[in-house]
Amino acid sequence: MWNWLKSLLSSTEELEDPMKYLIVGLGNMHPDYDGTRHNVGFEVLDLLAQELDASFKNDQLGDVAEAKYKGRTLVLLKPSTYMNRSGKAVRFWMQKKKIMPDNLLVVVDDKNIPFGSLRLKGKGSDGGHNGLKDIQAQLNTATYPRLRFGIGSDFHTGKQVDFVLGKWNNQELDTLLSHLKKSSEAVKSFCTIGMKFTMEKFNRS
């Protein structure tokens, strides 16, 4: 009976796959934003795709790559909707690829933590970040995993926007690659050993 029911369900509806993950890097597609702190989510995904031998292709609402890692399927998404409308792309690809909510991971810049530090959380406020704010609005929940990449707060009063949208300075560039690699490892850890152990390993750095 159960085999028949399972067969019937699978023939009429594609079920969510617990081994499939949607990894979203936030940023802005325009070339003017390349190499800026606000685009670090894109940079993490570019490195991750390179490590997993995956290639991005332009698709609906973003650039998308798909890779296999230790039995998991990783769908990598760089939204083309601009930062403030990231939620539309996230919702679309979650539905299209039948991604479980717990298997969504958003990689985002965070000025509230030191440069290069990582903070993985399963829920929380948007922290004033417009990309996270739109994702929360589109998904109608603040409960979804996010990996925050610290960009620091080395700016004067009134210069926050210039700093966030500014290019990495030479001092930051000296260690940026090592921090990006650590972020990529955190993403792969999340997809294999889960939220709890990944938090314990990477949130202390």
- Per DSSP, which regions of the chain are E strands? 20-25, 57-59, 62-69, 72-79, 104-110, 118-121, 146-150
Can you give the pLDDT at residue 205? 58
Residue 192 has pLDDT above 50, yes or no: yes
Residue 79 near residue 26, CB atoms below 8 Å: yes
Report yes or no: 47 and 184 within 8 Å, Cβ to Cβ: yes
Q: Is 167 helix (H, G, I), strand (E, B) or coil?
A: strand
Q: Quick: pLDDT tens for 170-191.
A: 999 999 999 999 999 999 999 9
To the nearest 10 degrees (0 to 180), the angle between helices 86-96 and 130-139 is 40
pLDDT digits (tens, 9 = 90+) for 56-76: 999 999 999 999 999 999 999
Which 3 state secondary structure label does DSSP give 159? Answer: coil
What average pLDDT does this structure show over 29-48? 96
**pLDDT at position 14 over 70:** no
Confirm if 93 and 75 have CB atoms less than 8 A apart. yes
Give the model's pLDDT for residue 156: 84
CATH architecture of the domain covering 17-202: 3-Layer(aba) Sandwich (3.40)
pLDDT tier, 53 (very low <50, low <70, confident <90, very high otherwise): very high
pLDDT of residue 12: 39
Q: What is the DSSP letter of 128?
A: T
Give Cα 55 to chain centroid, integer Å. Answer: 17
For all residues of the chain together, what is the average pLDDT? 91
pLDDT value of position 194: 96
- Using the predicted structure, report yes or no on whether residue 3 has a pLDDT greater than 70: no
Catalytic residues: 38
Q: What is the reported pLDDT for 5? A: 34
